Structure 1
Amino acid sequence: MRIDKYLWSTRYYKTRNIATEACKKGHIRINEQVVKPSREVYPTDKIVVRKNQIKYQFTVLDIPPSRVGAKLVDIYRKDTTPKEAFEHNELLQYSKDYYRKKGMGRPTKKDRRDITDYLEEDPVDGPVKKTDEGTE
């Protein structure tokens, strides 16, 4: 079975066209080699799929006859993805959501003041003092 069809039938990608594009972009590796969409998949092949900044690793156990249900996917592959890959993705999510929620728009006046105060800090003497004539 072709690799793009295998990835589609084991529900790694929603359509075969998306799986084909991932192969063309070099996001799919079989036994540490970047592959074309037409590459045949055999049992015991080790596949690495880079999707959403996570490298999913799995071993092919069997070839499905066609697209299978989500509950039956584990019959055809053995997932060997390390847990660190998922933990790294969670940390990325926290760092993105830490300061500003998505869609909050431009920085407020207070945000701009905080940014300028941060940028004006002198690393040796501490914060720069402001007077009427300017900075000291």
Structure 2
Amino acid sequence: MDKWLFFARVVKSRTLAQKLVASGGVRVNRDKIANPAQKVRVGDTLTVSYADAVRVLKIRAPGERRGPASEAALLYEDLSEPTVRRPSAEPAISLRPDAPEKGTGRPSKKDRRSLSRLKGGDPG
């Protein structure tokens, strides 16, 4: 299981694939599995849930190696619904209330010196 997920480029490494399976993020033919060494066959349907997405993949071929993305795409048929990302209508919220307006950038050397004088430090 973990090898196939790695070969099909569902995850970036086998370690991540093992953690995904062990955490219960993968189902084979609707059955939750916890063993990363589970055997998968051609025709099995995998439901993989990670981050904020769920993918349903039907296995077309067993993988022999982790090749390029074009080769990995031949290993499965994606049955999941395409996700449409909606543009956010809300402006980005700054986590810092004292953050400067966007585009002002770092203070210049002149600004830093004037701040230092204002605080009573070395005018330097």
The superposition leaves residues 67-95 of structure 1 with CA deviations (integer Å, 9 ceiling, x where unpaired) of 12101122211111112xx12xx24x737
Amino acid corresponding to residue 58 of structure 1 in structure 2: L
* Distance in 2 (alpha carbons) for counterparts of 1:11 and 1:74: 8
Contact kept, 8 Å, 2:61 with 2:74, in 1: the verdict is yes
More helix by share: 1
Contact kept, 8 Å, 2:8 with 2:75, in 1: the verdict is yes
1:7 counterpart = 2:9: no
Contact kept, 8 Å, 2:57 with 2:80, in 1: the verdict is yes
* Distance in 1 (alpha carbons) for counterparts of 2:32 and 2:18: 13
Amino acid corresponding to residue 8 of structure 2 in structure 1: T
SS in 2 for 1:18: helix
Gaps of 5+ in 2: 99-124
- The TM-score with structure 2 as length reference comes to 0.70
1:106 counterpart = 2:100: no
- The TM-score with structure 1 as length reference comes to 0.65
Q: CA deviation at 1:15?
A: 0.6
Q: CA deviation at 1:61?
A: 0.6
Aligned ranges for residues 81-92 of structure 1 at < 5 Å? 81-83=80-82, 86-87=83-84, 90-91=85-86
* Distance in 2 (alpha carbons) for counterparts of 1:9 and 1:75: 11
The superposition leaves residues 100-132 of structure 1 with CA deviations (integer Å, 9 ceiling, x where unpaired) of 34xx23346xxxxxxxxxxxxxxxxxxxxxxxx
Aligned ranges for residues 55-134 of structure 1 at < 5 Å? 55-83=54-82, 86-87=83-84, 90-91=85-86, 94=88, 98-101=90-93, 104-107=94-97
SS in 1 for 2:24: coil
Amino acid corresponding to residue 48 of structure 2 in structure 1: V
Contact kept, 8 Å, 2:4 with 2:62, in 1: the verdict is yes
* CA RMSD, 1 decimal: 1.8
Amino acid corresponding to residue 20 of structure 1 in structure 2: Q
The superposition leaves residues 23-56 of structure 1 with CA deviations (integer Å, 9 ceiling, x where unpaired) of 1111111101111211101000000111221111
**2:16 paired residue among 5, 11, 18:** 18
Gaps of 5+ in 1: 109-136
SS in 2 for 1:57: strand
SS in 2 for 1:39: coil
